[in-house]
């Protein structure tokens, strides 16, 4: 796993027990940057973004918050999940609205730090296999024949699940209603292509805000956002 550690002073990042040192001992590839994002090659990060950004706030929440806002405003790290390391004393002042994904307490417990990093990386990851598809917070378990959104099971009919699965397996590709009838469900539906519109509407409704990932391509059909 590759991580960027944002800290107050680069000189103190290598001190035993620090976040950067702990991550190195856990086998992570660590890049260091200051709260003003100094020390980072932003062009390189745009080409090879890290899995996680860890902001080593300690007791300096004010400067750490500014660093998080810089990251979230613009640049190559804007969509990378952020984990904030804070002390117990500063925890009551932690502002959950500034855009970080999770926090961990200092002094650092290595196993906890690594587990939380894996958790935020999992939440933001998009991947596919023969048995599991993950798109943002949506997880489609093909083998288990169920879909979950942010951990909550989505109740889908057979046709709804197959439609969602097929679009997810072919993200970015546009399909006509006729193609979805035949390829997603394996037959030509006697009621016509309107049934696709009905099922897309129902799937979107069950997904809530995440339903926007199923896009309508005017005069053509539908696609799952890539």
Q: What is the pLDDT of residues 133-187, one digit of tens each?
A: 888 889 999 888 999 998 899 999 999 999 999 999 999 999 999 889 888 887 6
Q: What is the pLDDT of residues 15-52, one digit of tens each?
A: 756 899 999 999 999 999 999 998 899 888 888 889 89
Q: What is the pLDDT of residues 67-90, one digit of tens each?
A: 999 998 888 898 899 999 999 999
Residue ranges in 51-109 assigned as alpha helix (H): 61-73
Domain boundaries 2-125, CATH class: alpha beta
Q: pTM (2 decimals)?
A: 0.61
Is the pLDDT reported for residue 96 higher than 90? Answer: no
Structure tokens at 10: 């680069």
Q: What is the pLDDT of residue 44?
A: 86
DSSP string, 95-130: -TTSS--EEEEESP-HHHHHHHHHHHHHHH--EE-S
Q: Judge residue 21's burial from the number of C-beta atoms within 10 Å of its C-beta, 0-12 exposed, 13-18 middle, 19 or more buried.
A: middle
| Domain definitions of the chain by residue range | 2-125, 128-224
Q: What is the pLDDT of residue 218?
A: 92
Domain boundaries 128-224, CATH class: mainly alpha
């Amino acid at each position: 796993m590759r991580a960027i550690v944002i800290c107050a002073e680069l000189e103190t990042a290598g001190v035993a027990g620090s976040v950067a040192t702990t991550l190195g001992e856990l086998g992570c590839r660590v890049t260091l940057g200051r709260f003003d994002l100094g020390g980072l090659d932003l062009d390189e990060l745009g080409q090879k973004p890290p899995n996680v950004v860890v902001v080593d706030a300690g007791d300096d929440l004010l400067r750490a918050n500014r660093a998080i806002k810089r990251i979230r405003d613009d640049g190559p790290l804007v969509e990378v999940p952020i984990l904030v390391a804070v002390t117990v004393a500063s925890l009551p002042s932690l502002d959950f609205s500034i855009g970080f994904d999770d926090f961990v307490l200092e002094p650092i417990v290595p196993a906890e730090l690594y587990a939380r990093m894996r958790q935020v990386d999992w939440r933001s990851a998009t991947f596919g296999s023969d048995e599991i598809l993950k798109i943002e917070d949506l997880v489609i378990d093909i083998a288990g024949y169920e879909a979950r959104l942010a951990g909550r099971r989505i109740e889908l009919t057979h046709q709804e699940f197959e439609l969602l699965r097929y679009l997810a397996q072919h993200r970015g590709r546009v399909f006509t209603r006729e193609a979805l009838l035949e390829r997603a469900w394996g037959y030509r539906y006697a009621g016509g292509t309107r049934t696709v519109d009905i099922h897309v509407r129902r799937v979107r409704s069950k997904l809530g805000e995440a339903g926007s990932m199923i896009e309508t391509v005017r005069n053509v059909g539908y696609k799952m956002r890539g």
